[in-house]
Homo-oligomer: A and B are copies of this chain.
């Protein structure tokens, strides 16, 4: 019935929304949001400034502020002064944070396995394809092709 075959944007929207809902429900038991887990995971095992972390997680810097506020309140991460740039903050995961990442990863892997279980050969291709889209044609889109505020006229 669709004139555009198939409706890729619809499929991505609905799978994304639905999977995020599952993740959120599963992580809620651990007191984590999906975004907090994402940031926690990317921050772990390396030194990252707040800004660098935002880039990796493809989040706006203001979104990163509130995300880190939450993680700090929960005692899972800390902002520490960068020794080389007094404007910047390094994000440090606490031992509690590291421990929780491990538990969360197990939970998430369970969700993924359950969801992806219905796929056969498509499983790898799906992941590969999405990765190539994120790193390729959909990479720079964030600040270019997006009509954000109504004030962004030009």
Contacts and interface: CB of A to CB of B under 8 A. Distances in A.
Q: How many copies does the complex hold?
A: 2
B4 A108 contact: yes
B18 A138 contact: yes
A18 B142 contact: yes
Q: Which of A46, A112, A133 has the most CB of B within 10 A?
A: A133
B127 A115 contact: no
Q: Is the interface of A mostly helix, strand, loop or mixed?
A: helix
How extensive is the interface on chain A, given as a class? 35 or more
A116 interface: yes
Contact of A125 (B1, B58, B118, B129): B129
Contact of A126 (B112, B129, B142): B129
